[in-house]
A and B are shown apart, each in its own frame.
Chain A
């Protein structure tokens, strides 16, 4: 095995073993520490994946459209076309690092504060299992393996919401589980529609849709796109999201919004568009219209929200709408916008949920009407909230800008009355995004301190600063140097577009 292959396997094995170790450690605090160390080691294994292995495919004629930097390919269940085939490239690597980072931050945060409901040990173990599922989804280069990891996430996340969530957690968790399973069973059928027709589940071989008939591609894309639309979520299949995000504990919301939703958009790019490009071209207008509807509906609903976590949750619907619009254009610009939008949303919304959780923990309420004047009593917290909100609304120079702006640019570039209209409407949605985030800031940070806010002390805990600082820095770094993401993604996106829109 090469070093890259060892790293690739380690990225999955370390958190899995970490979860077992956490469960086996008897003392709660020690167990959480073990979990945090495991998450840190995972991040350490994920980052160096970027080195080596690049480009040696690029010159050969007839190279496949997916060119992993490193890959591991072992047989598992030949009877079901399931191979343990992992690989990483420029499309998946940023997401892998983001997942590892956010899980580490969540575990570290749990060292400081365990939400009510259960032991911190179990929570950390579940977070690590969720991490295994998400990382596996991003790394899988076998359709069946992809489906398998997609499913792994479901129950641990259910348990996190149902065990440590807010007052209405059981209903929210059940809704999450059933909606998500609805998506993943469609994924299962879609995967085997492809496998039955092509005789292989290898994503590398399948990308470009070689050999699949038009009918198969349309059917497969419909099923896969529906599956990923539930996960992303795309309007009108989004209704599990606000409940789940609102009821989940802070770390659960961060993982949910930060990386779990990305499984849907990543799957759309890598699996649905890659494997059934003809289906993608056929469905692109519908996808685009739904994406813009999501942006507008998400923004309008946000304007009417009265609860801070719910508002942020609905803002995810709008942001993911931009990502899906980018994918729907099926252009290099659009897909790159989607990728950077994914990462930016993960960083910024992760931060926003951390901050909203901090506000709720301190004041005991999340109702906007009961919050005001935060900057008077807790100026640092208010400042960070303002930073995150401004980043999220897409201020140029911060991470949120690139994804939204280039999704609009890509839609306009495609041209024609439909896509131009979609681009314009999406831009209007961007303006609405600014409106509701500014409304949030006005209500929470400005004005006279409400009784709930009056009790809040100005200080921030060390663990909070540790958990938030990397996200603040990343939001700045990606905003200023988008090449951090786009640099590695450029070659694989171009290769993908070359086979998708010939």
Chain B
């Protein structure tokens, strides 16, 4: 037996690119100490990672670090999609951060380095083939965020948010690890596909109470990461305390990462008859609680945070179809996974557009503010206001935000194909609750400004927009519109 593994470096190229970006950013920051150079290098690295992922993913599936038939690194269509998405989201968030970085609110080198590290975690996550790689990748994705959340100088809220996030997240990781360890104790395997085969073939393993406990712990630990109810309480406080671009990253890339991890274990490793009911319950609770609490929010970012909790529920909903036997046929299962992935892609585009628009409408370095601060914003800034309106309407799932509409349609369709009509109805009714608050924000954008208008320097003054933020906003909005007209692009990619 050959002691030295042959390593397929082409398959690893995206990870090399992402990790290389992080290192390069650090070096450039040390050597040149020019903020602009650091940001440009980080941006180029993100672009390179996206291109690399797309190129590698365009070919056949590649795998490496194999023991027998089980591989720890599997770079296929899903991994490429995740890699491209995470890299582009990082690029977008970097663009949104430029004004705050330029104003000296956060140290540039550290900020870009941490963001690139987090991106590396996201890229590796998509290709992870065993539980250890998966959990380490997820932690690489999350760990830099504890610091990023707290990186706003002199902000108490920011520090509090960071500590909340840190504590909750560490507990979640512990649960996940414990679940993984128990699963190893039961089966002696760590590779996802091997676990899946073992648990499918040997029903006596499935019936062990220990297996049930392991599955539950693993799922719940990952549910923390996607902020699913009842493990959601950290999200609103953390989002609201974090700088706006970091909140955007948390609710898009980080959430996508959690979903990918969840999808990987549910699809490949765990028995569907055990995960299905748990996921269905999580989905129903998450969307309902998220929507109901969002109704009462008065702060913009908190509202977006709660709405993203609800959106996590919609993402999980297709997986809930696994609870029923009709949803566990091979065809229905792959449709459900594709639907969850497709919804997540539609969602991150719209969510990033919403955060970009809020950033563009707020003064440099400010937090999200209250809904009152956005009142009449679309009258002062028609284009930016319209972009925010489009993103919110899309999140609500209504035309003209067709991307969001098709996202909802995809979920409902996969649920009905899986025979889970009741869950489809829950999703549908939640969309109605969701509209109530999205509509409130959207209507406020066009509402006449309050009567007592401050004469000068007040909240209603025109806010100049920084070029980079405008570009990010324009690109994400165009992406949302294009996906709305041609949703088949996403459906094809998510189904691979």
Q: Point out the residues of chain B lying under 8 angstroms from A174, CB to CB.
A: 436, 439
Residues A151 and B398 in contact, CB atoms below 8 Å apart: yes
Could you say which interface size class chain B belongs to? 20 to 34
Most buried by A among B417, B443, B487: B443
Q: Point out the residues of chain B lying under 8 angstroms from A181, CB to CB.
A: 398, 431-432, 435
Query: Which of B97-105, B404-412, B458-466 is the contact stretch?
Result: B404-412
Q: Indicate whether A152 reaches chain B with its CB closer than 8 angstroms.
A: yes
Residues A79 and B491 in contact, CB atoms below 8 Å apart: yes
Bound-complex Cα distance A77 to B400 (A): 17
Residues A154 and B398 in contact, CB atoms below 8 Å apart: yes
Least CB distance, A276 to chain B, in whole angstroms = 15
Q: Indicate whether A158 reaches chain B with its CB closer than 8 angstroms.
A: yes
Q: Indicate whether A219 reaches chain B with its CB closer than 8 angstroms.
A: yes
Interface residues of B in 456-496 (CB under 8 A from A): 486-488, 491-492, 495
Least CB distance, B296 to chain A, in whole angstroms = 16
Q: Point out the residues of chain A lying under 8 angstroms from B435, CB to CB.
A: 177-178, 181
Query: Which of A48-56, A182-190, A331-339, A397-405 is the contact stretch?
Result: A182-190
Q: Indicate whether B54 reaches chain A with its CB closer than 8 angstroms.
A: no
Q: Indicate whether A155 reaches chain B with its CB closer than 8 angstroms.
A: yes
Residues A192 and B443 in contact, CB atoms below 8 Å apart: no
Contact with A along B391-432 (1 / 0, CB 8 A): 001000011100001101110110011000100110011011
Q: Indicate whether B446 reaches chain A with its CB closer than 8 angstroms.
A: yes
Residues B432 and A148 in contact, CB atoms below 8 Å apart: no
Whether A80 touches B400, Cβ cut-off 8 Å, given contacts A188-B408, A196-B413, is no
Q: Point out the residues of chain B lying under 8 angstroms from A79, CB to CB.
A: 410, 487-488, 491-492, 495
Residues B409 and A188 in contact, CB atoms below 8 Å apart: yes
Residue of A nearest to B431 (CB): A185
Residues A195 and B413 in contact, CB atoms below 8 Å apart: yes
Residues A155 and B400 in contact, CB atoms below 8 Å apart: yes
Q: Point out the residues of chain A lying under 8 angstroms from B486, CB to CB.
A: 77
Residues A196 and B417 in contact, CB atoms below 8 Å apart: yes
Q: Indicate whether A163 reaches chain B with its CB closer than 8 angstroms.
A: yes
Residue of A nearest to B393 (CB): A155
Residues A192 and B412 in contact, CB atoms below 8 Å apart: yes
Contact of A78 among B393, B398, B446, B488 (CB under 8 A): B488
Contact of B436 among A78, A178, A195 (CB under 8 A): A178
Least CB distance, B227 to chain A, in whole angstroms = 24
Whether A148 touches B399, Cβ cut-off 8 Å, given contacts A79-B492, A196-B417, is yes
Q: Indicate whether A463 reaches chain B with its CB closer than 8 angstroms.
A: no
Q: Point out the residues of chain B lying under 8 angstroms from A114, CB to CB.
A: none
Bound-complex Cα distance A431 to B331 (A): 58
Q: Point out the residues of chain A lying under 8 angstroms from B495, CB to CB.
A: 79
Q: Point out the residues of chain A lying under 8 angstroms from B431, CB to CB.
A: 181, 185
Interface residues of A in 118-145 (CB under 8 A from B): 133, 144
Interface SS of chain B: helix
Residues A177 and B439 in contact, CB atoms below 8 Å apart: yes
Q: Indicate whether A22 reaches chain B with its CB closer than 8 angstroms.
A: no
Residue of A nearest to B434 (CB): A181
Residues B416 and A144 in contact, CB atoms below 8 Å apart: no
Residue of B nearest to A192 (CB): B416
Most buried by A among B410, B413, B488, B495: B413
Q: Point out the residues of chain B lying under 8 angstroms from A154, CB to CB.
A: 398-399
Bound-complex Cα distance A159 to B378 (A): 14
Q: Indicate whether A170 reaches chain B with its CB closer than 8 angstroms.
A: yes
Residues B424 and A189 in contact, CB atoms below 8 Å apart: yes
Residues A162 and B443 in contact, CB atoms below 8 Å apart: yes
Bound-complex Cα distance A126 to B409 (A): 25
Residues A185 and B428 in contact, CB atoms below 8 Å apart: yes
Q: Point out the residues of chain B lying under 8 angstroms from A80, CB to CB.
A: 406, 409-410, 413, 487, 491
Least CB distance, B236 to chain A, in whole angstroms = 24
Q: Indicate whether A435 reaches chain B with its CB closer than 8 angstroms.
A: no
Q: Point out the residues of chain B lying under 8 angstroms from A182, CB to CB.
A: 429, 432
Residues A163 and B399 in contact, CB atoms below 8 Å apart: no
Whether A158 touches B439, Cβ cut-off 8 Å, given contacts A77-B488, A80-B491, A185-B432, is yes
Residue of B nearest to A118 (CB): B446
Residues A186 and B421 in contact, CB atoms below 8 Å apart: no
Q: Point out the residues of chain A lying under 8 angstroms from B488, CB to CB.
A: 76-79
Residues B428 and A189 in contact, CB atoms below 8 Å apart: yes
Residues B399 and A77 in contact, CB atoms below 8 Å apart: no
Residue of B nearest to A76 (CB): B488
Least CB distance, B243 to chain A, in whole angstroms = 32
Residues B421 and A151 in contact, CB atoms below 8 Å apart: no
Bound-complex Cα distance A182 to B398 (A): 12
Least CB distance, B17 to chain A, in whole angstroms = 31
Least CB distance, B326 to chain A, in whole angstroms = 10
Whether A189 touches B487, Cβ cut-off 8 Å, given contacts A144-B409, A151-B405, A174-B439, is no
Residues B425 and A170 in contact, CB atoms below 8 Å apart: no
Least CB distance, A155 to chain B, in whole angstroms = 6
Q: Indicate whether A193 reaches chain B with its CB closer than 8 angstroms.
A: yes
Interface residues of A in 152-178 (CB under 8 A from B): 152, 154-155, 158-159, 162-163, 170, 174, 177-178
Bound-complex Cα distance A81 to B491 (A): 12
Contact of A192 among B393, B405, B424, B446 (CB under 8 A): B424
Bound-complex Cα distance A152 to B416 (A): 23
Q: Point out the residues of chain A lying under 8 angstroms from B393, CB to CB.
A: 155
Bound-complex Cα distance A289 to B113 (A): 69
Residues A192 and B413 in contact, CB atoms below 8 Å apart: yes
Q: Point out the residues of chain B lying under 8 angstroms from A188, CB to CB.
A: 408-409, 412, 428
26 contacts between A and B (CB under 8 A): A79-B488, A79-B491, A79-B495, A80-B406, A80-B491, A148-B405, A151-B398, A151-B399, A151-B405, A154-B399, A155-B400, A158-B439, A162-B443, A174-B436, A178-B436, A181-B431, A181-B435, A182-B429, A185-B429, A188-B409, A188-B412, A189-B425, A192-B412, A193-B421, A195-B416, A219-B421
A residues contacting B by CB (< 8 A) are 76-81, 133, 144, 147-148, 151-152, 154-155, 158-159, 162-163, 170, 174, 177-178, 181-182, 185-186, 188-189, 192-193, 195-196, 219
Q: What 4 pairs between A and B have smallest CB-CB spacing?
A: A185-B428, A79-B491, A196-B416, A192-B416
Question: Besides the contacts A151-B399, A155-B400, what 12 more A-B pairs have beta carbons closer than 8 Å?
Answer: A77-B486, A77-B487, A80-B409, A147-B409, A148-B405, A155-B398, A158-B439, A185-B432, A188-B412, A189-B412, A189-B425, A196-B416
